[in-house]
Structure 1
């Protein structure tokens, strides 16, 4: 793991090894020195590190994000929830059971609760019943039993601000891609002063750290950001506070929107795409709704990508994973074949992947940075001339 910290500042090292308990102040321009950093690539689809490089390391941890940056991610993606005392944290589930050691912590045994979440009764230890200090005392584990378990118990939950600092202190420009997660549930259970909502605190944090500007603006290129959510009302609400680009996430065909109770077919209609484009720059659908499979073989692609592009919306599908259990038979257990299909045949604008390094390698092989491409072409031309001169 030592290579993860080669070009990261002391503040991120502190975060990685769990020594920070306070939220540090926003970094100054001189600290970031963005003018000297390698810029974000914008000539090929985005490599979006889904919860960090979580195929290798426990999700949503500093280590997973650092690994993703090291492996070539364009954006590091995270889910934002809130603690009992109103701190924003990076965590996917509203319950702590699946990816922490909370069930083994006897001091928290009495905290188990049952709440309604998106219309269903859920029992477990909920993020909203724990203070930030208590959450920091937990240790994170790998979600899937078939992935590497060696790093279980080594890392802690990080805050939204700590996640931002990991991106800002990287040795190149790395974008962030935070999700306003379960806003209906969070606003029901966490209250802030002055009538503030979860979405208000979310945007205030981004603005405090300098994230602003429309897509491809100078400000955006200095600190790239996509704001995402499954809740269209949240995206519309935050549009009044920031012009940073937003992406509307779309669940499977059976799941209605959590805030407006709209069906998949309604929110993917031409009329709705025409409406939501006033607030978002793209959509993030589950990939199996774009190309529905049958018996683990790909079916006929829908026209969703073409229709989204016709409305000038980007398409960033989720989630791409290397394991055979997630690869349709058409790809012959080869994730690179899957990447090729989605990038070249379906023509998406970015991919959420658990294995950032794999996607980066594929893109470097097939569409390298222009300078590398020119060098490769020059070398091939030189070799051809040498062979020609030698009589071949």
Structure 2
């Protein structure tokens, strides 16, 4: 524990120094790995190892500690959900409410903030992130979402800003990509107003541009600062496509969930006609894995759908989510073995990237299988 927090202190000092110097794109980065252009490049010869909210199987999600751990464990990309504060700052956080992953309920000064709002066609009650300023959020501390995961790191890490997240990737000793999500854009645009009249999507893309992110997929500019921008909201992706050359990924939810902005069904957005429309704006899709290979009632795998084949036929990558090591998340076909699950999805289904809560496990699997092939 002492080693982890000493390392985190050094990382946050480096991040603060970068932020104080303005946009990282304005000057070369120098750190443990030397100048940015001298660092080991991102691999593109195998499916991407995408650290879902950092290494959140081990540490509280969306924290600097979770992202630093994911980089140490070999993630190709670190993934973040990006939302907005009451005063218009972008922060890394998944839920619209703070209840499940912070200590907000233990803070008497915020007791009066709890209320009920509509989120994605449903009423939700809690402490909404858009009711807090950045300064207030920084007083909170993160906790583990799941009861069955390690809680010993609860109460240490603050919420981080989008810019702090970016600087964690830029301060790594190798090229590490970022994979931020425009999270709940309809809700953000409804409850947050920016002084310049811009929308959430504009603020999001402007932040990426400030740090030098841009360039089409696999171009030299993209390889220097690899990024995928993702969203469940097709209108946000269309808007973003007019603001940046960075590659975009269309996220696909459960079959029962309609899109938050266009109120379309799963069948609507996975039709060949709609994929033909979206491929003008995105380079890939990010489906929930159970929509690609649905489970049976007895927790076994049913026949795969044709979603991957449809996407690949249109030149779209497929990055499913979320892969987790615990038995409760593994279908019986995998015999409680996460490596068997990775093998099925990479070598059987043929996906192009995987969102995992345990990037070290995916790295080990790919190292083992690469050596075996050699």
TM-score between both structures, scaled by the size of structure 2: 0.94
Q: Find the aligned partners of 1:85 and 1:175 in 2 and give their Cα distance.
A: 28
| CA-to-aligned-CA distance 1:22-65 (integer Å, 9 cap, x gap) | 87622343325222100000000000000000000000000000
CA contact (8 A) 1:41 1:74 kept: yes
Cα 1:61–1:251, aligned 2, differ >3 Å: closer, same or farther? same
What residue ranges of structure 2 are gaps of 5+ in the alignment? none
Q: Find the aligned partners of 1:92 and 1:15 in 2 and give their Cα distance.
A: 25
Q: Which residue of 1 aligns with 2:309?
A: 306
| CA-to-aligned-CA distance 1:113-162 (integer Å, 9 cap, x gap) | 11111111111000000000000000000000000000000100000000
Q: How far off is 1:194 after superposition?
A: 2.3
CA contact (8 A) 2:8 2:64 kept: no
CA contact (8 A) 1:96 1:125 kept: yes
Match of 2:220 among 218, 221, 228: 218
Q: Which residue of 2 aligns with 1:14?
A: 13
Asked if 1:276 corresponds to 2:278, the answer is yes
CA contact (8 A) 1:49 1:75 kept: yes
Asked if 1:115 corresponds to 2:114, the answer is no
**Deviation above 3 Å: which 4+ runs of structure 1?**
1-10
Q: Find the aligned partners of 1:165 and 1:31 in 2 and give their Cα distance.
A: 10
Q: Which residue of 2 aligns with 1:29?
A: 27
Q: Which residue of 1 aligns with 2:81?
A: 79
| CA-to-aligned-CA distance 1:63-102 (integer Å, 9 cap, x gap) | 0000000000000000000000000000000000000000
CA contact (8 A) 1:173 1:223 kept: yes
User: How many pairs were matched up?
Assistant: 367
| CA-to-aligned-CA distance 1:271-324 (integer Å, 9 cap, x gap) | 011100000000000000100110100000111101100000000000000000
CA contact (8 A) 1:15 1:162 kept: no
What residue ranges of structure 1 are gaps of 5+ in the alignment? 378-392
Q: Find the aligned partners of 1:7 and 1:130 in 2 and give their Cα distance.
A: 29
CA contact (8 A) 1:15 1:62 kept: no
Q: Find the aligned partners of 1:288 and 1:158 in 2 and give their Cα distance.
A: 31
Q: Find the aligned partners of 1:30 and 1:289 in 2 and give their Cα distance.
A: 42
Asked if 1:100 corresponds to 2:102, the answer is yes
Q: Find the aligned partners of 2:139 and 2:9 in 1 and give their Cα distance.
A: 24
Q: Find the aligned partners of 1:8 and 1:322 in 2 and give their Cα distance.
A: 25
Q: Which residue of 1 aligns with 2:361?
A: 358
TM-score between both structures, scaled by the size of structure 1: 0.90
CA contact (8 A) 1:8 1:170 kept: no
CA contact (8 A) 1:220 1:244 kept: yes
Q: Find the aligned partners of 1:275 and 1:58 in 2 and give their Cα distance.
A: 37
Asked if 1:196 corresponds to 2:193, the answer is no
Question: Residue 161 of structure 1 aligns to a residue in which SS?
Answer: helix
Asked if 1:151 corresponds to 2:145, the answer is no
Cα 1:314–1:91, aligned 2, differ >3 Å: closer, same or farther? same
